[in-house]
Every structure is written in structure tokens, then in C-alpha cells.
Structure 1
């Protein structure tokens, strides 16, 4: 007969294993895709240089990367953080389409800050 202590320890171990596995998968997924911070910085640089065609192309790549990772992010983070990031990406896309340097750089910086928070075990509020 298995004691209650062994069952409890087994369940705790299983929960810890699931927790560690999930965060490993999340980190591997975020790091194996195109580098989002690099894309955001390149979009800002292209806007500052006035190369709006390149900024638009990079923005399309960013949207592709986001679509591939949004479900993992959705599971781990609150609806508010997820929505704010989506809104920031949408505002970034609009700023690039309108060739607005200030807004493009600002939204790229905001998106970068949010993305870096997504990669942490305990994100900033």
C-alpha cells in the first residue's frame, strides 16, 4: 500500500515537472524564432533612416513571428498584457504605413519592453 506521503510527494513532483517543462518549451520557442528584439530594433533603425520599404518588410516578419508565438504567450500571461502587446504591434504597423518616424520608434520601444517582459519567469507588471 502506498502511503499518503508518497502520493503527495509524487503529485508535487509532477506539478513541478509540468511547470519546468512548460517554461522550457516557452523559452525554447521564443528563442528559436526570429529574434523579435532584433526585428524591433531594425524597424526603428529603418524608420530613423527613412527606409520605409525595409521597415514595412521587417514589420511583416514581426507579425509572422507573433502569429507563431501568440498562443504560448496567451497561455502564460494575462489577457491585459496580451492585448496591450497586440495593440502595440497594430499601432507599430499603422505608424510604419503612415511613415511616421516618431510613432514607429516609440511603438517599437514599447513592444520591445513588453516582449522582454514575456521572456521572464516573473514578468514586470
Structure 2
């Protein structure tokens, strides 16, 4: 009996509205749009940063060269890394809290300056910090 009343209410409400869109149609459409936006966002982020793991691989090379105190190569790789960062930093800013983004930016600045002053320990530490932030940023739901 209850099911009959519910079905009858649904059919009469459709008849009253005529050709207008139902709430279900609008909701499904909005959910579809949101899913598409997220999918496009993560595909673009993946293309910018994970195409061949350039971001992580460049950081690893910087760490290795800093450990060997090969500062010319570390400087060169840091410049490559900075280009990658500049290409996609706004994607990270969109998906993460301002505080996390600022910490990443600060760690990158420390990395750059430690390579300039040839401070091995600080360069490796800041590269590890940048790597940790980046791994967290790639997640769909980043950790605090």
C-alpha cells in the first residue's frame, strides 16, 4: 500500500511538472560534472608531474648529487626541478591547504639555497621534505 502511494505521488508530480527537469536529473547531472572535473584535474596533474616520474626522479638525482657534493650537477637538476614545479604549482595549490602548499614552497626555497651555499645535509633534508610533501599531494585525499 505504501509503495503504491509513493509511486502514485511520483507519477502525479511528473505530470504536474510536465517537461521540466526532475531533481534527480539535475542531481545526477551535477554529480557527473563534478566527477568529470575531478577526473580532468587528476589526469592533468598526473601528466604534469608523473609523466615518467620526472618530479620524483629529479629530486632523487638532486639528493644523490648533494650527497656526493657534486654541486654543479645538483644545481643543474635543481633548475630542471624548478621548471617542473613552476609548470604545475597551481595544480597543487588547488587540491591542498594553503599551509601545506606554503610548507612545500618553503622547502623548495631551502633546497635551492642549500645547493647554492653547498650545504650537503640541509640539501638532502630539504629534498626529503619536498619528496614527502609531493607524495602526500598526489593522493586524492591528502593527509594533514
Same fold, judged at TM 0.5 (above): yes
Q: Which runs of 5+ in 2 are unaligned?
A: 1-18
Aligned residues: CA RMSD? 1.5
Q: Could you say which residue in structure 1 is the equivalent of 2:7? A: none
Partner of 1:80: 99
Report the Cα distance in structure 1 between the residues aligned to 2:31 and 2:69, rounded to whole angstroms.
55
TM-score where L is the length of structure 1? 0.91
Could you report, residue by residue, the CA deviation over 1:55-104 in whole angstroms, capped at 9, with x for unpaired residues? 11111111111111111111111111111111001001111111111101
Larger radius of gyration: 2
Where does residue 25 of structure 1 map in the other structure?
A: 44
* Structure 1 equivalent of residue 110 of structure 2: 91
Residues paired across the two proteins, number: 125
Indicate the structure whose relative CO is greater, using CA pairs within 8 Å and at least 6 residues apart: 1
User: Where does the alignment leave 5 or more consecutive residues of structure 1 unmatched?
Assistant: none
CA distance in 2, matches of 1:62, 1:24: 20
